[in-house]
Every structure is written in structure tokens, then in C-alpha cells.
Amino acid sequence: MKALTFRGIKTIAYETVSDPRIKNPGDVIVKVEQTAICGSDLHVYHGRESGLDEGTVMGHEFTGEIVDVGKAVKNLSKGDQVVSPFSTNCGQCYFCDIGLTARCTNGQLFGWVEGGMGLHGAQAELVRVPYADSTMVQIPEGIDSKHALLAGDTLSTGYFCAENAEIRPGGLYVVIGCGPVGLLTIMAAFEQGAQHIVAIDNVYDRLEMANQLGAVAWHLNENPILYILEKTHGIGAEAVMEAVGSPGAQDLAIKLVRPGGIISTVGVHTSHDFSFSPSDAYNLNLTFKIGRCPARYYMDILMPKLMDWRWDLDKIFSHELSLKEGPRAYEIFDRKEDSALKILLKP
């Protein structure tokens, strides 16, 4: 089959690799109908994540059709249209039981093979899915498969970020970063009852999208700290939702949040230290929430909501390219060329 593989820093190849096959009775094989490039793929692309084997098939967002089924699979059949979260979930361990599916003790990330161990990704014509019964979600009739794809990662992550911010009507909330996750966080925060959201970024096209969603768009270079303090009479934001994953974003968040407020972080951080100290957190009575979204848990919440989601999710996709164009798609996405936001790939 054809796939996009990791061949070193900033090097993605479109090449022929072996077809995946059933290894365990609980596996299925999915014919990928669409996949996407995620911001976290760039951590691998730039070498910020070490250890990935060369030749690893990239990608963790996908929808498709089941074409082969292991003997132990009970809930799925050939021909089912399905979507997956970005990691597999056994459905039986302690963490799956409490809804923290992203920390499943048996789970694996799609697109991560290290030392010959791991799970190849979905930027390919076919993908193997372990623990299929508890990992895969059938796409309900009436839901656009592109929207279902978002539920497998970025929309779930945005919803998780907003939920961790403990939204209450009346307060002022801030979203730092207006990439796909940030924009979906804005939607989710409004969905959960927010009335006043300020969105901060340094890309004007993305700020315009945030404004169209109903947020107040504020450029990073226009002193957002002063603006938030003026709007809250010197108190600060009820919560700051950080969807960037950088020390600068973390530092800005703690300067914007009120004493007793919440910082909800879903941006993938790779730095070794916090940008603020324990004494900073103590003096603010800060609640700081960070971590990988348990996407599989949130997919069950979001699928019914997608039936009448009131925002245009199609706008999240800026490009639609073929899998063969994948190496170039990574360059476009990395450089934010042509106002790149989220790139959909079709095998």
C-alpha cells in the first residue's frame, strides 16, 4: 500500500509499505477514506519528539471502511463506516473505566513506532486498529465523515479544554491560540455556556475566524494583558484555555488569569520546566489542568451533538489534498502557507 512515512527531521516520504494484517483477534483493518495532518504531527516533523523509527507510517486522525475483522471482534463488521480516536483503548483497564481513555494501560498511539515496537499510523491506504470494539466508533447516518474525523481528536480536545475551564455564564474567558484546536475550543466553550471569550493569536486570518465564531479577537502584539485587566476591572480572566503548547503561551496564561482562576492547557508541551514557579501558582491560588485529551470518552458525548452542531466545521479544513501530495502538505502546514489551518488528505 501507499503511505506517508517518517524519514528524518522535516522529511516525509510517500512510498510503498507492507499492507497491515490482523495480528490479534481483536484487530480490524480499515481502508482509510480520509486522514489529516494534526499540529502534534509537527512535533515529530521538527524532531521535538525523539525516538521514532524511520519508516514509521505517520498520522492518527482517520475515518474509513472496515475491510477485515479479527475473530474476537463482536461489535463491528466489514463494510462499517468508522472513525477512531488518536489512540487505541482496551475498554477494560482502570483508566478506561474512569473515562481517562488517553491513559489506557494497553493503549497505543497511532503513528508511533520506536525500537520496532508500537503502532503504525493512518496517513496510508490501510491501517490496523487493535482493540477495535472499544476503540472504533461507527459514524451515525447524517453526520459528515469530516466532522466525525474532528471528533476523534481536535474537537474532543477542544471540548475537553473548555470543560476543564469550568465555564460559567457571565465571566470572561480567554483562548490562547486560534489554530484548529483553539477555534474548536471557542466553539466548545460557547456550547458549554460561555458568553464572553477573548481569542489571542498572532495570525490575522485565524483571528478573523475566531471573530466570526463570536469571540473578541485580540492580536498578541496589542498588549492582551492590559486589555484583559481593563475588561475585568483589574481582576483577570475566569479561566485561560491554552491551545499552543509553548513556554510563551504558558507565561501569558498565568498573567491573564485571575486569582483563584483556572488555566486549562491542551497544547502539547515539550519543554522541561514550567514558565512559572510554584510560588507563582501558590500566590494565585491557581488551578492548573493539563494533559492529553481522553478522546474516546468524549467521542460518545460529541457524536450526538454533531447532529445539530451550530458552527460551520467545514471552515476548519483549509486544504483538501491527495495522500500523494502529503510531503508537500506537511510543508504547507508547517509554514502556514495559503492560510493553512487543517489539511485533509485522501488516499
Same domain, 138 and 27: yes
Of 268, 290, 312, at which residue does a domain stop? Answer: 290
Cell (9 digits) for 279: 510560588
Same domain, 7 and 144: yes
Same domain, 6 and 149: yes
At 16 the three-state DSSP class reads strand
Give the DSSP letter of residue 103.
Answer: G
Same domain, 196 and 120: no
Q: Who contacts 269 (Cβ-Cβ below 8 Å, separation ≥6)?
A: 245, 246, 250, 290
Same domain, 285 and 302: no
Same domain, 128 and 168: no
- Of residues 59, 45, 50, 43, the one with CA closest to residue 110: 59
Residue indicated by cell numbers 475515518: 63
Same domain, 121 and 171: no
- Over its length of 347 residues, how does the chain's per-residue pLDDT go in tens digits? 999 999 999 999 999 999 999 999 999 999 999 999 999 999 889 886 668 999 999 999 999 999 999 999 999 999 999 999 999 999 999 999 999 999 999 999 999 999 999 999 999 999 999 999 999 999 999 999 999 999 999 999 999 999 999 999 899 999 999 999 999 999 999 999 999 999 999 999 999 999 999 999 999 999 999 999 999 999 999 999 999 999 999 999 999 999 999 999 999 888 889 999 999 999 999 999 999 999 999 999 999 999 999 999 999 999 999 999 999 999 999 999 999 999 999 99
Same domain, 11 and 122: yes
Same domain, 180 and 253: yes
Same domain, 233 and 331: no
| Rounded distance between C-alpha atoms, residue 333 and residue 53, angstroms | 22
Q: Is 200 left (phi over 0), alpha (psi -120 to 50) or beta?
A: beta
Say which CATH number the domain at 11 has.
Answer: 3.90.180.10
Secondary structure E strands in 292-336 = 319-322
The structural domain count of the chain equals: 2
Say which CATH number the domain at 244 has.
Answer: 3.40.50.720
Same domain, 113 and 78: yes
Question: Which value, to the nearest 10 degrees, does the dihedral of the CA atoms of residues 332, 335, 341, 343 take?
Answer: 20
Quote the domain boundaries for residue 170: 158-290
Same domain, 119 and 245: no
